Amino acid sequence: MLDYVGLEADLGEEERLIRDTARDFVEDKVRPDIADHWQDATFPTEIIEEMGALGFYAPNLDGYDLPNVSEKAYGLLMQELEACDSGVRSMASVQGALVMYPIHAFGSDAQKDEWLPKLGHGEAVGCFGLTEPNHGSNPSAMETHAEADGDGYVLNGSKTWITNSPIADVAVVWAKDRSDDENPVRGFLVETDKAGVTTNKIDDKLSLRASITGEIALDDVHVDADDVLPHVRGMKGPLSCLTQARFGIAWGAVGAAQDCFETALEYATDREQFGQPIGGFQLQQRKLAEMATQITNAQLLAHRLADLKERGDLRPQHVSMAKRNNVRMARETAKTAREMLGGNGITGDYSPMRHMANIETVYTYEGTHDIHTLILGEDLTGIAAFE
Amino acid sequence: MKVLVTVKEVAAVEDEFEIDGTAIDEAYLEYDLNEWDDYAIEEGVQISESEDDVEVVSVTIGPERSEETIRMALAKGADRAVRVWDDSLEDAEMLDVEAKTNLLAAVVEEEEPDLVLSGVQADDDGFGATGVSLADEVGFEWAAVVNDLELDVEGGVASVRRELEGGVEELTDVDLPAVLTIQTGINEPRYASLRGIRQAQRKEIKPMTLDDLGLSADVAESDLEIVDMYEPETESDATLFEGSPDETAGQLAEVLRDGGVGQ
Ligand SMILES: Cc1cc2nc3c(=O)[nH]c(=O)nc-3n(C[C@H](O)[C@H](O)[C@H](O)COP(=O)(O)OP(=O)(O)OC[C@H]3O[C@@H](n4cnc5c(N)ncnc54)[C@H](O)[C@@H]3O)c2cc1C
């Protein structure tokens, strides 16, 4: 895939092996059927355990039989998965960054022992419930709440747009603890087979179709006191997970764009009109030059982000900038690549339009493009436009 | 029990390339683990998973760059590795079957494996002879083009199925110690997991020079010489049949008959 300034030539051996493993796996096991899954609105569930066996979930975490690879290796993995389909990367992001990460960072030893090995090996599936029907960009206004009850809590409320909720074994549900004076947001591990939990599937999506999305309805659901993530209170809990996931998205967007670019380049050098390959015309060359430049910029940002994260200097605002920039770049690239494929470009035989539709979700979830603009605006001016 | 798996980093040529003298210009080469060796590694690792006390040692002949390839073998489950290299090997224009045989024979002497698994052939130079030649040199039993293997460790016998020409298969029992050259399709090679790749960083790749192996520089000398490297003329001779299926089938039959097929 496009690596115009040779960033990957400087990778360490371990990172290169990880990239190659991910690339081979995707090529052999996922790519051949992904367009059909997308058309059918199904996820290739057989790869859930395979990806677990390969260590694709939360590979940058330590202990619990997790690989503990570098942040760059983790980023490259996300890049390779999303080069196939954003739905595949979403599976790994949700399981690793949104479910395993909070358990790893904020969970009790018992919670970690119980869940991390199972989730890491893909023997259990997790989901992350933050968004609600009436609260998307502003989750701190959430209505889902917990009330102390005997030896635990009772949860009520509803979450929506939750990736994997219909197939999840456990949900990390963020809810306000009304029995606490400060009414803080707390994280609860809710097994989805509990009485009072329903996880309806959302049908008819026109984006991220090869990914299962649903709701989580909580109707007097009893959880034990042991099911609360003990070591976090407030919005820092969900937001810190999102920083992990967005880091992966900044890398993943590069992968999706690289795949669009490669497809367009190959097509432009093959397809002939007016007696020559369409890639021989200046208008098409400009598109290719622009795409390659923007992908390279985004790739540079992603690599820099990994270095900052590795040495502990990464701020959430850095991640906002990269998520915002790289996803916008992928959105533009997918559109341009689609356009270069002419009529063939609107079919499922070529990846760009599938990526293009997927990116609409990626542009929206994990903080919309607008919201990241406001985060950067606040960081630059010191004035919050959204409070 | 010890299993020695020979692996090679092979060069793959890009679609567009240039020839530089008697070699392909480095700029157009990418290096990867030889496909057949991937199956040999898998076979070795499967043996170590199904039997007690099996050590899988991987050996390669190659420059430092090839550590990445051999690390892949470690990531897939080999326990440790040996990498043979030396300035005099670096200087040699080509390492022929004899040279590789002598180098690997010295490693076999050092490691004393019960079983050596090699690939049937290498994807680049394609001599397809190293495994069997090694067996001959070290006096091991051997079987080539093995596509099924059952091991009786206690009895010291490998029951193998070999792929012969024309779709014929042969079942043979081979006494250990033995060299088996492994055919693709014998198993389904695993992907290296991220856990495996991490662990592989801590596994040993022991560098060995000719001195270490008690060999002298003339081991690299070869009776073979590459005299030329060129792209063969490509000829395409396509016949397009037109008409109904009936007609085209008839035309095809005629061509096949003329070509000597199905008389
Ligand atoms: C396929 C899919 C999967 C998802 N998976 C998950 C998941 O696993 N878990 C989870 O919790 N959520 C998930 N989400 C939800 C996602 O995070 C939300 O959709 C997102 O946060 C936006 O919320 P919203 O849809 O309510 O839009 P809204 O917040 O209503 O935004 C609508 C529009 O208004 C703009 N806007 C909002 N506020 C402002 C402002 N202050 N200034 C300017 N413009 C503003 C937004 O940018 C947007 O353009 C998923 C979404 C999708 C589509």
Q: What is the ipTM of this complex?
A: 0.91
Instruction: Give the span between the Cα atoms of A77 and A74, in whole angstroms.
Output: 5
For residues A125 and A115, give the distance between their C-alpha atoms in angstroms, rounded to a whole number.
10
Residue closest to A171 by CA, chosen among A148, A138, A199, A210: A199
Q: Count Cβ atoms below 10 Å from residue A58 Cβ, excluding itself.
A: 27
Class of B2-220 per CATH? alpha beta
A78 touches chain B (CB under 8 A): no
Secondary structure class of A115 (helix, strand, coil)? helix
Q: Which of B194, B199, B205 is most worth mutating to test chain A (most A CB atoms within 10 A of its CB)?
A: B194
Between helix A236-270 and helix A86-93 the angle, nearest 10°, is 160
Measured in angstroms, how far is the CA atom of residue A237 from the centroid of ligand 1? 18
State whether residue B194 sits within 8 Å of chain A by CB.
yes
| A59: chain B residues, CB-CB within 8 Å | 194
- The answer to whether B158 and B151 have CB atoms below 8 angstroms apart is yes
Average pLDDT value over all residues in chain A: 97
CB distance A54–B67 less than 8 Å?
A: no
Residue A366 falls in the annotated catalytic set = yes
User: If we measure between CA atoms, which residue out of B114, B9, B102 comes closest to residue B56?
Assistant: B114
- Please report the beta strands in B65-217, taking only residues with DSSP state E, as ranges in sequence order: 80-84, 115-119, 141-152, 157-163, 169-175, 178-182, 205-208
Rounded CA separation B34/B58 (Å): 13
Using the Cβ of B38 and the Cβ atoms of chain A, whether some distance falls under 8 Å is answered with no
Task: Give residue A376's pLDDT.
Answer: 98
Q: B170-176 long-range CB contacts below 8 Å, 24 or more apart?
A: B172/B143, B174/B141, B174/B142, B174/B143, B175/B141, B176/B114, B176/B115, B176/B141
Residues B18-27, buried b or exposed e (16+ Cβ, 10 A)? eeeeeebeee
pLDDT confidence of residue B260: 81
**Three-state DSSP state, B255:** helix
Q: Measured between alpha carbons, how far is A136 from A20 in angstroms, rounded to an integer?
A: 37
Minimal CA separation from A5 to chain B, in Å: 16
DSSP letter at A201 equals B
CA distance B38 to A250: 34
Whose CA is closest to atom 26 on ligand 1? A136
Q: In a mutagenesis test of the B interface, which of A1, A14, A28, A72 is the best target, namely the one with the most B β-carbons within 10 Å?
A: A14
DSSP codes joined into one string, B6-57: E--EEEEE-SS--EETTEE-GGGEEEEE-HHHHHHHHHHHHHHHHSSS-EEE
Residue A218 to residue A197: CA distance in whole angstroms: 5
Chain B residues lying within 8 Å of A120, measured CB to CB: none
Q: Cα–Cα distance between B64 and B61 in angstroms, integer?
A: 10
pLDDT digits (tens, 9 = 90+) for A232-290: 999 999 999 999 999 999 999 999 999 999 999 999 999 999 999 999 999 999 999 99
The answer to whether B95 touches B220, Cβ cutoff 8 Å, is: yes
A161 sits in the region (left: phi over 0; alpha: psi -120 to 50; else beta) called left
Residue B177, preceding peptide bond in cis (omega within 30° of 0): yes
Q: What is the pLDDT of residue B46?
A: 97
Task: Determine the distance from the C-alpha atom of residue A2 to the mean position of all C-alpha atoms in its chain, rounded to a whole number.
Answer: 22
pLDDT digit string (tens) for chain B, length 263 residues: 999 999 999 999 988 899 998 889 989 998 999 999 999 999 999 999 999 999 999 999 999 999 999 999 999 999 999 999 999 999 888 899 999 999 999 999 999 999 999 999 999 888 999 999 999 999 999 999 999 999 999 999 999 999 888 888 999 999 999 999 999 999 999 999 999 999 999 999 999 999 999 999 999 888 888 899 998 888 777 888 888 999 999 999 988 888 887 65
What atom of ligand 1 comes closest to residue A135's alpha carbon? Answer: 26
Please provide residue B89's backbone torsions phi and psi, each rounded to the nearest 5 degrees: -75, -35
Q: How many CA atoms lie within 13 A of A305 on its CB side?
A: 30
Determine the distance in angstroms separating the CA of A52 from the nearest CA of chain B, rounded to an integer: 9
